[in-house]
């Protein structure tokens, strides 16, 4: 115990406590800031003076439209909606526990599948009701994709990375504390 009473040991111990607490508090604050930016994916962001809807809500619209198209396709022989159903399940699953980058990959796969399914359905002799349904679902997909493209989420992430995360001292503390940057939806 006498070693703790020596001046050099006390100074060293104080330095360790100060550095440790600085790292801890900086890491916590940076992690909270990163989480706030990422939460914009789920809750929407305010960008350019306008409050944008969340990407997640628009992805749910895309998922619902894909389900509607797959349901319509079941009425016609020779139209296979299994790829759309699979891509939709993948998207829904990734919305529960995926990162924005992973969700983006599932979203683009679903859009590709729905585009092919719409083409296949339009080649069929559709009833008036089903033709109207295909048009409505296609409109929902186009509208939701447009809202996602203009959501401002990626701009918010890029701004945060440029102004905060990649700037000193946050970049220094991020490396030391292992705080990951918010992910882009691309």
Please write the tens of the pLDDT for every residue from 76-133: 988 999 999 999 999 999 998 899 999 999 999 999 999 999 999 999 999 999 999 9
Mean pLDDT of the chain: 90
Query: Mind spelling out the 3-state secondary structure of 49-75?
Result: CEECCCHHHHHHHHHHHHHHHHHHHCC
- Vertex 105, ends 57 and 157: CA angle to 5°? 65
Contact (Cβ atoms closer than 8 angstroms) between residue 184 and residue 101: yes
* pTM for the full predicted model: 0.84
């Amino acid at each position: 115990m006498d070693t703790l009473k020596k001046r050099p040991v006390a100074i060293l111990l104080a330095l360790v406590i100060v550095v440790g607490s600085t790292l801890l508090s900086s890491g916590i604050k940076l992690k909270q800031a990163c989480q706030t930016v990422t939460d914009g994916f789920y809750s929407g962001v305010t960008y350019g003076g306008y409050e944008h809807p969340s990407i997640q809500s628009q992805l749910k619209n895309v998922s619902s439209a894909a389900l509607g198209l797959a349901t319509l396709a079941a009425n016609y022989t020779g139209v296979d909606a299994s790829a759309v159903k699979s891509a939709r399940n993948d998207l829904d699953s990734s919305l529960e526990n995926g990162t924005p980058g992973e969700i983006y990959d599932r979203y683009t796969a679903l859009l590709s599948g729905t585009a092919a399914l719409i083409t296949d359905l339009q080649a069929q002799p559709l009833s008036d009701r089903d033709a109207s349904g295909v048009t409505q679902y296609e409109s929902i997909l186009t509208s939701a994709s447009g809202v996602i493209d203009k959501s401002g989420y990626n701009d918010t992430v890029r701004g945060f990375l440029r102004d905060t995360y990649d700037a000193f001292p946050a970049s220094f503390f991020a490396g030391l504390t292992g705080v990951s940057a918010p992910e882009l939806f691309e």
